Amino acid sequence: MKVYKIATIPGDGIGKEVIPAGQKVLETLAASFDSFRFEFESFGWGGDYYREHGVMMPDDGLDSLRDKDAILFGSAGDPHIPDHITLWGLRLKICQGFDQYANVRPTRILPGIDAPLKRCRREDLDWVIVRENSEGEYSGVGGRAHQGHPIEVATDVSMMTRAGVERVLRFAFRLAQSRPRKQLTVVTKSNAQRHAMVMWDQIAGEVAAEFPDVQWDKELVDAMTARMVNKPASLDTIVATNLHADILSDLAAALAGSLGIAPTGNIDPERRYPSMFEPIHGSAFDIMGKGLANPVGTFWSVVMLLEHLGEDAAASRLMAVIEQVTATPALHTGDLGGSATTVQVTDAVCDLLQEATARKAA
């Protein structure tokens, strides 16, 4: 029997509610497969840890994660700590420390979900956004001088390297090639950002030559937002910079019904380090601690985690159950217009997983 070592990092806010739910679903699923099981280790890093130790995670924290097969992450963000400290001190430290340079963000309108776009049918919106996840606008290069004085100056340099751009574009072309439509849209802002973004466009053309069977086009990021709303069916795989894709993927999630559903994987495609899976949402200060968080984004992230481990049968069984649950309005949480709680949705998923097992055994 295979044993997978999984680190869970609930972090802050609703991360503390949805990650235990995700672990429960993984445990329920493993109970019905003889071929694998999980060994979980939970790390209590985040805002509470910061209040006690002055850092979001220990300096040698990455060493505790290094031998894991995957990481399940909740959210970094505490109402009483500045957002840049929580983000850089935990999530970015792991993503960048483990060079998880490809952030994969699928979006689909799941059965039973009311998407806000009137003219969008379910089959019109089936996207995967690839977010550059190691440099660009989030390279951390910059500074602030003369703080508080009239001559104060501050910069955040968007640093792009040829190697960094090339590898994420190659990843995106390969992903596009693996999907039925074999179509990629490369998003930049190369009219205004005339150095890095022009390089990005140029490298896209070079990498495209390696993938003659992939149909690709370019779109400026501002026009892209309108295209996502007006012509969703014209898109399939999308690749964009760290900041642009961050924004576009929240838009994508909302167009598909809710931020609470959307999953992501922070992937090290070379598998030198563990990859990290998380719902794309944050700590949701407005609903945290109330048991109202939609756990579906975490469950779909768990599907991605299972696919990453190569457990495709378990992944598709869980995805089918997630779709059964979204198709049931009584199991919709507040973000979907319903009144179900995190626990109710989680229990429903676990019950359906057990039923599926019982059916198989019968």
* Cα gap 352→358, rounded to integer Å: 10
In this complex, which beta carbon is closest to K ion, that of residue 197 or of residue 292?
Answer: 292
Instruction: Answer with the entry of K ion, ligand NAD, Mn ion, none that 76 interacts with (C-beta below 5 to 8 A by kind).
Output: ligand NAD
Of 17, 132, 236, 246, the residue at the interface with Mn ion (CB under 5 A) is 246
Radius of gyration of the chain (CA): 20
Q: Which positions from 274 through 333 interact with ligand NAD, judged by CB under 6 A?
A: 278, 281-287, 293-294, 297, 333
Instruction: Answer with the entry of ligand NAD, K ion, Mn ion, none that 100 interacts with (C-beta below 5 to 8 A by kind).
Output: none
Q: Which two tokens stand for residue 361?
A: 């055994």
Of 12, 78, 268, 278, the residue at the interface with K ion (CB under 5 A) is 278
Instruction: Answer with the entry of K ion, ligand NAD, Mn ion, none that 87 interacts with (C-beta below 5 to 8 A by kind).
Output: ligand NAD
In this complex, which beta carbon is closest to Mn ion, that of residue 246 or of residue 278?
Answer: 246
Structural contact between residues 188 and 221, judged by C-beta atoms closer than 8 angstroms: yes
Rounded to a whole number of angstroms, the minimum distance from the CB of residue 79 to ligand NAD is: 8
Instruction: Answer with the entry of ligand NAD, K ion, Mn ion, none that 259 interacts with (C-beta below 5 to 8 A by kind).
Output: ligand NAD
In this complex, which beta carbon is closest to ligand NAD, that of residue 28 or of residue 258?
Answer: 258
Query: Closest Cα partner for 21 from 292, 252, 229, 335?
Result: 292
Instruction: Answer with the entry of K ion, ligand NAD, Mn ion, none that 123 interacts with (C-beta below 5 to 8 A by kind).
Output: none
Residue 220 main-chain phi, psi, to 5 deg: -80, 145
* Cα gap 222→229, rounded to integer Å: 12
Phi-psi region for residue 310, left (φ > 0), alpha (ψ -120 to 50) or beta? Answer: left
Structural contact between residues 107 and 245, judged by C-beta atoms closer than 8 angstroms: no
Residue 83, helix vs strand vs coil: helix
Q: Does 23 bind K ion (CB under 5 A)?
A: no
Burial 178-196 (b: 16+ CB within 10 A, else e): eeeebbbbbbbbbeebeeb
Query: Closest Cα partner for 26 from 273, 276, 298?
Result: 298
Of 8, 23, 28, 75, the residue at the interface with K ion (CB under 5 A) is 75
Stretch that binds K ion, among 60-68, 140-148, 271-279, 343-351 (CB under 5 A): 271-279
Structural contact between residues 113 and 256, judged by C-beta atoms closer than 8 angstroms: yes
Instruction: Answer with the entry of Mn ion, K ion, ligand NAD, none that 163 interacts with (C-beta below 5 to 8 A by kind).
Output: none
Stretch that binds ligand NAD, among 42-50, 62-70, 82-90, 169-177 (CB under 6 A): 82-90
Tell the burial category of 63 from Cβ atoms under 10 Å away from its Cβ (0-12, 13-18, 19+).
Answer: exposed
Q: Which two tokens stand for residue 267?
A: 């992937």
Q: Which positions from 211 through 270 interact with ligand NAD, judged by CB under 6 A?
A: 259-260
Structural contact between residues 32 and 357, judged by C-beta atoms closer than 8 angstroms: yes
In this complex, which beta carbon is closest to ligand NAD, that of residue 311 or of residue 335?
Answer: 335
- Which positions lie near K ion, rule CB under 5 A? 75, 278
- Which positions lie near ligand NAD, rule CB under 6 A? 14, 75-77, 83, 86-87, 91, 259-260, 278, 281-287, 293-294, 297, 333, 335
- Which positions lie near Mn ion, rule CB under 5 A? 246
